[in-house]
Structure 1
Amino acid sequence: MQNPATPAYRIPEPLARVLGRLPRYPGSVLFVTGLNLVLARHLHPDTLHMLEGRSLRIHVADAGLRFDYTWRDGAFRAARHEVAAPDLTFRADAWDFHCLLQRREDPDTLFFSRRLVIEGDTELGLMVKNTLDSIDMAVFQPRAVLRDVAQVLRQRAEALIPSGARRQYSSRV
């Protein structure tokens, strides 16, 4: 939980104005790349089935940033939710999202203190919250993230090398 002596950090207003003017889609592409590299492999198949085709948004209120995405065809994908509201939106300040990821704050505490706002499909929101609560946060530690990224890059590189060439290369090494 957050130490009352430690003030919550807020993105400075001049920086928030600049960040809020950035186009959403490229940021969402970067966001889902991170989700796919770090989080997707740790999600239960039932959760992924419930997420299929659902539109989601993370809104970092004090930074003016919105990341729109969906789960489709086995991966998180960037989306554009400009016409209709997403099925689910999580809105909080950057510091509160940081505290959630570090498990310094409980989502229920943030929700009831109105520092975390969940809008949209209640059942979907509860499922996402409970899923995130159940994930071992060690997967977000830099060493684990770098290990996961290296594994994905190795798999992709191996997929590009024809199997005959792969056997020839591995016999030389």
Structure 2
Amino acid sequence: MSPTAYSFPVPVQKVLSRLPSYPGSILFVAGLNLALARHLSPDTLRLLDGKKLRIRAKDAGVGFDFVWRDGSFSAARHADETDLAISASVHDFLLLVQRKEDPDTLFFSRRLVMEGDTELGLLVKNTLDSIDLSVFSPTNFLPGRLFRRKAG
């Protein structure tokens, strides 16, 4: 598949890139804390402690800055310098989350870019690779009554 097969239209990217990143980072870390934080090992959390991270969706023109501190992910304001920045298109991030594409393949084809602390990048990659995707199922963190099966 071509790396440019799916991308945000330029007018949408221009609008999104003008939005302040901090409110988006707050929403992003809320999702991380709800769906991911409890599944991370204490060793991983110790290594993440105080590290400034950035996830950037290049084609959407948005980025989220955050840090693990005091037992949860927190949005970071004005993170000029990060320990690790990970960039890809929204489509490539979706492929990664769905495990339809390997991070190494995206990295070597330059569709996934990691900048900063190499060891931290490997920790993040290996940690995400080791997590069972079912932890991201909405039934794990939303009220069960929203997902009842219909009888019959």
TM-score (norm 1): 0.79
1:108 to 104, 115, 120: 104
Corresponding pairs, count: 144
- Aligned equivalents of 2:91, 2:6: Cα separation in 1: 6
Classify 1:5/1:45 alpha carbon distance in 2 versus 1 (closer, same or farther; 3 Å).
Answer: same
Shift of residue 8, structure 1, vs aligned partner: 3.1
Structure holding more helix per residue: 1
- Asked if 1 retains the 8 angstrom alpha-carbon contact of 2:3 and 2:111, the reply is no
- Aligned equivalents of 2:4, 2:24: Cα separation in 1: 28
Query: For the aligned residues, what is the CA RMSD?
Result: 1.7
Q: Deviations over 1:81-113 (max 9, x none)?
A: 44x320000000000000000000000000000
The DSSP-based 3-state class of the residue aligned with 2:59 is: helix
List alignment gaps of at least 5 residues for structure 2: 145-152
1:127 has 2:126 as partner: no
List alignment gaps of at least 5 residues for structure 1: 152-173
Shift of residue 77, structure 1, vs aligned partner: 0.1
Report what 2:41 is aligned to. Answer: 44
Q: Deviations over 1:26-60 (max 9, x none)?
A: 00000000000000011011000000000000000
Identity %: 62
Shift of residue 138, structure 1, vs aligned partner: 1.2
1:15 has 2:8 as partner: no
Shift of residue 5, structure 1, vs aligned partner: 8.6
Classify 1:46/1:18 alpha carbon distance in 2 versus 1 (closer, same or farther; 3 Å).
Answer: same
Report what 2:89 is aligned to. Answer: 93
Report what 1:62 is aligned to. Answer: 59
The DSSP-based 3-state class of the residue aligned with 1:63 is: coil
- Aligned equivalents of 1:75, 1:118: Cα separation in 2: 23
- Aligned equivalents of 1:94, 1:124: Cα separation in 2: 22
Greater Cα radius of gyration, structure 1 or 2 = 1
- Asked if 2 retains the 8 angstrom alpha-carbon contact of 1:55 and 1:81, the reply is no
- Asked if 2 retains the 8 angstrom alpha-carbon contact of 1:37 and 1:149, the reply is no
Letter aligned with residue 78 of structure 1: A
TM-score (norm 2): 0.89
